[in-house]
């Protein structure tokens, strides 16, 4: 699989990575054996970038990645984790002592002395404008606890603030066919600054796979059931902030645009891969077949201008007004 560079850092990642939120929590139950099978299928398909977080299953996702990689010393996988969501979300918690403690825990979970990439996990907005926060992150690099750092953001404004920081190697942001606002300013700014873009929630929490209907029932421990209105965290993380009924209807239109040989999910991933400035896209997978199908999107033919225009038209007609004023 093709790899792309996080410009400032010179680290490489496969254009399709693997998001491992599903392997930790909040997407229903995934047992340990199945989780390891997902990682194996992704790696065999050429995936060299795993994204996790200390809060996914309270460390379970990190530990599962460590268990997998410990048995595969032949693999070179860039592992990115995130920190900051295990405490109250107030700017005062984003200080060096806490960073060290969180980093110690993640390094133990991952079984490494130095983590490839650590990202602030959608912290409060003032954090992105606080010099002391980025001084502390620089200290973690100097202490060789981490190789590079980045941020995960909710809004385009937060992304632009972070990109202006000289030490930021990457910005993780929601980008998909139902969330196009980052295309206008964030991706061009990241390209100019040499900052990598990690595109998360690429399938709009599964909507763009075309598998769901108005009658689909999600498990109680799945965020698509309990966070539809932002009850637990930012509602933009669930279905990209699109109300479910509209999302299902628009997803049916999207599925009809898939060229021959593409599944709707692969169309969604291929669309992101082709956006200038994207380094890697990180779909999750609940089973090995999903992991393989996601990775295969990297080798599909480029989309036609007609298909790209139809995707844009769908967004403008059905989705834009719901999401652009918030994120």
User: Is residue 316 included in any domain, yes or no?
Assistant: yes
User: Is residue 272 included in any domain, yes or no?
Assistant: yes
User: Is residue 155 included in any domain, yes or no?
Assistant: yes
Residue 142's CB is within 10 A of a number of other CB atoms, namely: 9
Strand order in the sheet with 146-152: 18-19, 49-51, 78-83, 115-121, 146-152, 168-174, 196-200, 280-281
pTM of this prediction? 0.96
| pLDDT band, residue 9 (cuts 50/70/90) | confident
Rounded distance between C-alpha atoms, residue 161 and residue 129, angstroms: 7
User: Is residue 327 included in any domain, yes or no?
Assistant: no
Contact 293, 266 (CB under 8 A): yes
Q: Total structural domains in the chain? A: 1
* CATH for 211: 3.20.20.100
pLDDT at 141 over 60: yes
User: Is residue 325 included in any domain, yes or no?
Assistant: no
User: Is residue 326 included in any domain, yes or no?
Assistant: no
Judged on CB neighbours under 10 Å (0-12, 13-18, 19+), 208 is buried
DSSP conformation class of 243: -
Residue 207 CA to its chain's centroid (Å): 16
CA dihedral sign of residues 246, 247, 248, 254: positive
User: Is residue 80 included in any domain, yes or no?
Assistant: yes
User: Is residue 184 included in any domain, yes or no?
Assistant: yes
In tens, the pLDDT along 241-280 reads 999 999 999 999 999 999 999 999 999 999 999 999 999 9
In tens, the pLDDT along 54-69 reads 999 999 999 999 999 9
Enclosing H/E stretch for 3: strand 3-6
Rounded distance between C-alpha atoms, residue 76 and residue 43, angstroms: 9
Contact 120, 82 (CB under 8 A): yes
Rounded distance between C-alpha atoms, residue 8 and residue 169, angstroms: 6
Query: What is the extent of the structural domain holding 228?
Result: 1-320
């Amino acid at each position: 699989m093709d790899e792309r560079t996080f410009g400032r850092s010179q680290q490489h990642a496969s254009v399709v990575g693997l998001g491992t939120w599903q392997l930790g929590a909040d997407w229903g139950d995934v047992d340990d054996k199945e989780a390891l099978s997902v990682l194996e299928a992704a790696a065999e398909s050429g995936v060299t970038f795993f994204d996790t977080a200390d809060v996914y299953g309270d460390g379970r996702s990190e530990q599962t990645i460590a268990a997998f990689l410990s048995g595969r010393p032949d693999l070179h996988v860039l592992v990115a984790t995130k920190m900051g969501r295990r405490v109250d979300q107030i700017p005062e918690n984003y200080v060096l002592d806490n960073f060290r403690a969180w980093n110690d825990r993640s390094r133990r979970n991952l079984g490494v002395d130095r983590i490839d990439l650590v990202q602030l996990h959608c912290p409060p907005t003032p954090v992105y404008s606080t010099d002391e926060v980025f001084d502390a992150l620089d200290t973690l690099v100097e202490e060789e606890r981490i190789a590079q750092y980045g941020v995960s953001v909710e809004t385009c404004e937060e992304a632009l603030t972070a990109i202006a920081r000289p030490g930021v190697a990457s910005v993780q942001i929601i980008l998909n066919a139902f969330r196009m606002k980052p295309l206008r300013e964030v991706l061009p700014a990241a390209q100019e600054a040499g900052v990598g873009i990690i595109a998360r929630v690429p399938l709009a929490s599964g909507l763009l796979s075309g598998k769901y209907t108005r009658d689909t029932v999600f498990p109680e421990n799945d965020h698509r059931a309990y966070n539809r209105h932002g009850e637990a965290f930012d509602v933009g993380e669930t279905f990209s902030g699109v109300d479910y009924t509209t999302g299902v209807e628009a997803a049916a239109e999207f599925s009809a645009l898939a060229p021959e040989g593409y599944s709707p999910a692969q169309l969604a991933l291929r669309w992101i891969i082709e956006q200038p400035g994207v380094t890697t896209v990180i779909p999750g997978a609940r089973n090995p077949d999903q992991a393989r199908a996601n990775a295969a999107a990297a080798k599909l033919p480029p989309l036609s201008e007609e298909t790209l225009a139809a995707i844009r038209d769908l967004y403008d007609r059905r989705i834009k007004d719901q999401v652009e004023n918030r994120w």
